[in-house]
């Protein structure tokens, strides 16, 4: 833990989080915020958390589906590993939970880390595409997101740039999955041209296992199935936003919450402190302000939503983490000396 806290990436994330928290809470009276918290009916968190865990189960199914060509593992067996990944993302810097769950999968089911990481990267790309779809479905509403609402930057420009990145990455993965031999030749050519001879065998071995992790995308039907599942996952998460909204004295449309969900999750790709502190909250508050929600109410809702998204899954993931007998040293170092990547 001491080693992680001393890394420059950790402190950069903390600084960025503090900056976004300042943007989120500037000009907000503590008394107004306290009153907004007191007005909330927290019973609405119960169905919100329930529907969120249905979404987590859907994530486990999607990962099971992506890994099926590498090794058939049941959704039930994948669910604890997915929660461990959330646990890692929420308490460790640099989204280390994504690597942590690949390491746990290697430990429990002997799946090569490089193959499982390929599926995890594919998941993230599909998630990014769906988040951008949520944003573009509300394209006319983006005009609301101005500096007056507390939003920093041009979200339309960022959405267009993000579309290019995520759709380009998705196209590259689909092509690599459909033409694995050609992809291997390209990787081999790059490796031989730019890397020393002693690394060639290891890099090509990793590349082969990585490409094996993309095998589930080789047919258009399977690629479409992953996309549809991703849409369902994020609609379920938006449903949690909707339930939590009913705890507070305001109402916006489900589409507005889809826009909020898309923007805040794209914003959490910015480096930050563990748990996406600040990078989740500032854009979420800004979106609600753009829809005319009072800042104190918007801040209270967003902060409660953030805690409701963070705490239950972190608690469950922590339970499975310690149940597996994992150590802090293993999770922080994330090295694979015990087996091939």
Taking 70 as the threshold, does the pLDDT of residue 157 lie above it?
Answer: no
Residue 117 near residue 213 (C-beta atoms within 8 A): yes
Tokens of 104: 């746990």
Report the percentage of the chain scoring pLDDT > 90: 48
Give the residue-averaged pLDDT of 316-340: 70
| pLDDT tens-digit readout, 19-67 | 988 888 888 888 999 999 999 999 999 999 999 999 999 999 999 999 9
Instruction: Identify the pLDDT of residue 165.
Output: 81
Per-residue pLDDT of 100-119, as tens digits, reads: 999 999 999 999 998 899 99
The pLDDT of residue 328 is above 70: no
| pLDDT tens by residue, 246-285 | 999 999 999 999 999 999 998 888 888 888 999 999 999 9
User: Which residue has better confidence, 230 or 149?
Assistant: 230
How far apart CA 208 and CA 15 sit, in angstroms, is 39
Average model confidence (pLDDT) for the chain?
86
Both tokens of residue 337? 């000396």
**Short-list 122, 167, 163, CA closest to 262:** 163
pLDDT of residue 3: 52
Assess whether pLDDT exceeds 70 at residue 333.
no
Please report, for residues 74, 213, 262, 300, the alpha-carbon distance to residue 111 in angstroms, rounded to integers and kept in the order given: 14, 10, 32, 43
- Report how far apart, in Å, the C-alpha atoms of 321 and of each of 20, 226, 316 are: 30, 27, 9
Domain boundaries, the chain: 14-333
Q: Residue 192: pLDDT band by 50, 70, 90 thresholds?
A: confident
At 29 the pLDDT is 85
**Can you give the pLDDT at residue 274?**
86
The rounded distance, in Å, linking the Cα atoms of 119 and 96 is: 16
* Mean pLDDT calculated for residue range 78-99: 92
Query: Sorting pLDDT into bands at 50, 70 and 90, what band is 143?
Result: low
């Amino acid at each position: 833990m001491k080693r992680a806290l001393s890394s420059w990436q950790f402190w950069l994330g903390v600084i960025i989080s503090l900056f976004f928290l300042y943007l989120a809470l500037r000009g907000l009276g503590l008394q107004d915020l306290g009153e907004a918290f007191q007005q909330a009916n927290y019973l609405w968190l119960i169905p919100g958390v329930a529907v969120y865990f249905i979404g987590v189960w859907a994530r486990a199914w999607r990962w099971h589906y992506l890994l099926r060509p590498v090794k058939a593992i049941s959704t039930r067996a994948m669910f604890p590993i997915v929660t461990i990944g959330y646990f890692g993302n929420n308490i460790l810097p640099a989204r280390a939970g994504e690597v942590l769950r690949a390491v746990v999968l290697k430990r429990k089911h002997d799946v090569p880390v490089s193959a499982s990481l390929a599926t995890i990267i594919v998941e993230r790309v599909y998630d990014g595409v769906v988040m951008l779809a949520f944003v573009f479905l509300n394209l006319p509403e983006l005009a609301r997101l101005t500096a007056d609402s507390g939003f920093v930057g041009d979200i339309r420009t960022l959405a267009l740039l993000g579309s290019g990145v995520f759709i380009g990455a998705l196209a590259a993965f689909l092509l690599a999955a459909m033409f694995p031999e050609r992809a291997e030749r390209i990787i081999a050519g790059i490796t031989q041209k730019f890397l020393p001879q002693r690394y060639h065998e290891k890099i090509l071995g990793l590349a082969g296992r990585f490409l094996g992790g993309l095998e589930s995308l080789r047919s258009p039907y399977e690629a479409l199935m992953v996309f549809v599942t991703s849409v369902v996952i994020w609609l379920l998460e938006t449903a949690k936003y909707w339930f939590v909204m009913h705890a507070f004295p305001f109402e916006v449309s489900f589409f507005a919450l889809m826009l909020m969900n898309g923007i805040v999750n794209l914003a959490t790709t910015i480096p930050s402190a563990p748990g996406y502190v600040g990078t989740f909250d500032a854009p979420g508050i800004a979106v609600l302000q753009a829809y005319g929600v009072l800042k104190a109410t918007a801040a209270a809702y967003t902060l409660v939503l953030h805690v409701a998204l963070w705490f239950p899954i972190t608690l469950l993931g922590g339970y499975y983490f310690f149940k597996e007998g994992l150590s802090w040293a293993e999770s922080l170092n994330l090295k694979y000396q015990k087996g091939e990547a």
